[in-house]
Structure 1
Amino acid sequence: MENKINLACIIDDDPIFVFGTKKILEYSGYCDTFLVFKNGQEAYKNLRTLIQQKSVLPDLIFLDINMPIMDGWEFLEEIEKIDIPKQLKIFMVTSSETPADREKAKEFSVIKKYVVKPITLDVIKDIIKQIE
């Protein structure tokens, strides 16, 4: 089996997506430890605290675009302002198939891949290969 993920972060306000993604990662044996945030602001505050405390950061982050309070784009703009000791590996996982969103994602170096929902085991396997 490929490398196991020690900690995955899911930033998404859709409880069905969060549940399904966690189950795929758990059942496949890739990961069983998660940070889950319902919006970008909650995620930003918590990740910023982890960085300041020099705590363990997620091996990968699944980030949605459309969320209340702070969306995925706003989260990316804020997180890029922080000096992070470890390169974050963010996978934009969204229902948006618009070319404008795909192009905007390319502006952020922390985004490793743009993935259109739903997420499947094959997509997870591909993501795991990219973070090894």
Structure 2
Amino acid sequence: MINSKIKLACIIDDDSIYVNIISKIIDAKKLAENLLIFENGKSGIDYFETLLQNFSNELDIPEIILLDINMPIMDGWEFIERFTKIKNKFNTPITLYVVSSSINKVDIEKANSLSSVESYLVKPVKISELEAVFTKTA
């Protein structure tokens, strides 16, 4: 069993079944102590922008973000565009992974070309891939 050094991880995804499964795996494998969950990019970016405005505690800043691309209100691409502008204002390094059911080569290449994206994972994410994400960052 991996002992987590990840205090806080974040999932931004509108698929409640996927979120439920990933949350259970993260919990069962003790990959992160706490999880933040947002249903779309807008609520996710609002959280990060509020953190900056309030000079929040570093414990409120997730070390890992698992981001879906296709979501209502604000999709993953819009989130990345806004997040990239503020990411370096945080003292804590934040590692962003795009996690999508899209196997479209254009999406994968676009995500991998962005400096703020660590990697692109295709749903359903394997437990071993998830463990690798969390141990690589730890």
* 2:84 match: 80
2:74 match: 70
Question: Within 2, Cα distance between the matches of 1:24 and 1:51?
Answer: 30
Alignment of 1:114-129 (within 5 A): 114-129=120-135
Counterpart Cα distance in 2 of 1:104 and 1:2: 33
Letter in 2 for 1:47: F
- Taking structure 2 as the reference length, the TM-score comes to 0.88
Q: Which residue of 1 aligns with 2:99?
A: 93
- Uncovered stretches (5+) of structure 2, i.e. residues with no partner: none
Q: Name the residue aligned to 2:19.
A: 18
After the TM superposition, which segments of 4 or more aligned residues of structure 1 sit over 6 Å from their partners?
Answer: none
Report if the CA contact (8 A) 2:4-2:32 is conserved: no
Residues 7-59 of structure 1: CA deviation (Å, up to 9, x unaligned): 11000000001100100000011124111101101100011112332333101
Q: 1:81 aligns to what SS in structure 2?
A: helix
Give the TM-score, by structure 1 length.
0.92
1:16 aligned counterpart, secondary structure? helix
Code of the aligned partner of 1:30: L
Structure having the larger proportion of residues in helix: 2
Tell me, in whole angstroms, the C-alpha distance in 1 between the residues paired with 2:123 and 2:52: 29
Question: Between the two proteins, what is the percent identity of the paired residues?
Answer: 39
The one-letter code of the counterpart of 2:71 is: M
Q: What SS does the corresponding residue of 1:10 show, helix, strand or coil?
A: strand
Structure 1 position 28 matched with structure 2 position 29: yes
